[in-house]
Amino acid sequence: MPRTLVFLALCALTMSATAEAVTAQRQAELRDLVHQDCGSCHGMRLTGGLGPALTPQALQGKNHDFLFSTIRAGRPGTPMPPWQPLLTDQEINWIVNYLKMPEETP
């Protein structure tokens, strides 16, 4: 049991360090990307459209890994493209954290 707790603590630290590795300037660019590029399918207020809503409430039951892999690899058979060619893993982690934080999204 203690090993599991240590592992989970290390994962949490890695996740927060990964999200912090994105510069403030890049964070502003990623916010614009989320609201413009993602918003073109998910609605400009991210409340849904061609794609599902991306509000914190709508994402509440989705875990980080699921959202990360969806952004990274896309959703085959749907209009959701893979963003891996354009975004780093750190940037994708930052976007997932951004989408799940109520005070960060309009």
**Cα gap 94→88, rounded to integer Å:** 10
Segments in 21-88 forming alpha helices (H): 24-33, 39-42, 56-59, 64-73
* Nearest Cα residue to 15 out of 99, 88, 73, 90: 90
Q: What is the pLDDT of residues 8-27, one digit of tens each?
A: 444 444 444 444 589 999 99
Residue 43: DSSP 8-state: -
Instruction: Name all domains of the chain by residue range, CATH numbers in brackets.
Output: 2-104 (1.10.760.10)
Task: Record the pTM.
Answer: 0.77
Q: What is the pLDDT of residues 39-82, one digit of tens each?
A: 999 999 999 999 999 999 999 999 999 999 999 999 999 999 99
